């Protein structure tokens, strides 16, 4: 690991910065992912969604993008868990009493739990579609796989709960990331406050798919 990166990662503020930046990049991925998934609503036979999936899969840069995404998720989760553990330790030690850096806020207290629920969702999701797709091989198209998974047993409800947690997580995250990055300013604050509604749009947008397959198809 280069020394500049070691230096950043050894400080608590450095870890928070990288957690914020990787989190914001993951939000950009979610916006693109939701936009792509909306092709599900374009027709009833899934041809628009399947053509979109084919377009993505035939891009030679896909393995690179997937590796980048994996690094973002691992860095974000790993650092967020470490910062939480360090803050808890600091709060418990006498030394931290006069130091408000370790102070617990409602947001930091719920972030780790909503984050872990989203991680649980992500493991299920990758199993359903990324690994499921390999298992289905050439025999089925992606739309049929998504439709059958999102109507099966408790899976759609796990998706709805996961998206509830994602909504809460991003609602707090979209404010705290900009605070961490030092972008707080009276009128910028107003802009970030509006941007937080993106959390609601993403959560409702993603949750709409299992509900659509359950009740309308
Ligand atoms: C109901 C909502 C969602 C649906 C219908 C959906 C659908 C899909 C599908 C079909 C794939 C496989 C794409 C392919 O391999 O061609 C996929 C991959 C993926 N999804 Fe979702 N997704 C949803 C929500 C989410 C959310 C909320 C997250 C993140 C928190 C997420 C993260 C990912 C990741 C990381 C991959 C793997 C990307 C790759 O390896 O190429 N998805 N999703």
Nearest CA to ligand 1 atom 36: 126
Nearest CA to ligand 1 atom 8: 129
Average pLDDT (28-51) is 97
Residue 64 has pLDDT above 90, yes or no: yes
Map residue 98 onto helix, strand or coil.
coil
**For 116-147, how does the pLDDT look when each residue is reduced to its tens digit (9 = 90+)?**
999 999 999 999 998 877 776 666 689 999 99
Greatest CA span in the chain, whole angstroms? 63
Domains assigned to the chain:
3-215 (1.20.1300)
**For 153-187, how does the pLDDT look when each residue is reduced to its tens digit (9 = 90+)?**
999 999 999 999 999 999 999 988 998 888 777 88
33 alpha carbon, distance to own chain's centre: 11
CA distance 175 to 94: 30
23 alpha carbon, distance to own chain's centre: 7
**pTM of the predicted model as reported, rounded to 2 decimal places:** 0.91
151 CB less than 6 Å from ligand 1? no
Tell the burial category of 198 from Cβ atoms under 10 Å away from its Cβ (0-12, 13-18, 19+): middle
Of 68, 79, 62, the residue nearest 26 (C-alpha): 68
Residue 126 Cα to ligand 1 midpoint, Å, equals 7
Residue 2 has pLDDT above 90, yes or no: no
Given phi > 0 = left and psi -120 to 50 = alpha, else beta, which region is 46? left
């Amino acid at each position: 690991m280069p020394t500049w990166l070691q230096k950043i990662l050894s400080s608590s503020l450095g870890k928070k910065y990288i957690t914020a930046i990787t989190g914001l990049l993951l939000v950009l991925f979610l916006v693109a992912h939701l936009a792509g998934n909306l092709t599900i609503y374009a027709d009833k036979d899934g041809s628009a969604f399947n053509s979109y999936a084919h377009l993505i899969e035939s891009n030679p840069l896909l393995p690179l993008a997937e590796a980048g995404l994996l690094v973002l998720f691992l860095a974000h989760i790993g650092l967020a868990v470490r910062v939480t553990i360090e803050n808890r330790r600091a709060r418990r030690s006498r030394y931290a009493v006069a130091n408000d850096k370790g102070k617990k806020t409602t947001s930091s207290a719920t972030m780790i739990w909503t984050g872990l629920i989203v991680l649980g969702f992500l493991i299920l999701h990758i199993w359903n579609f990324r690994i499921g797709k390999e298992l289905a091989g050439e025999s089925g198209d992606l739309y049929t796989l998504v439709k059958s998974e999102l109507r099966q047993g408790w899976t759609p409800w796990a998706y709805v709960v996961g998206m509830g947690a994602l909504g809460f997580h991003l609602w707090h995250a979209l404010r705290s990331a900009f605070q961490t990055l030092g972008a707080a300013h009276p009128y910028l604050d107003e802009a970030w406050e509006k941007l937080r509604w993106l959390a609601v749009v993403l959560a409702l947008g993603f949750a709409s798919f299992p509900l659509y397959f359950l009740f309308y198809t």
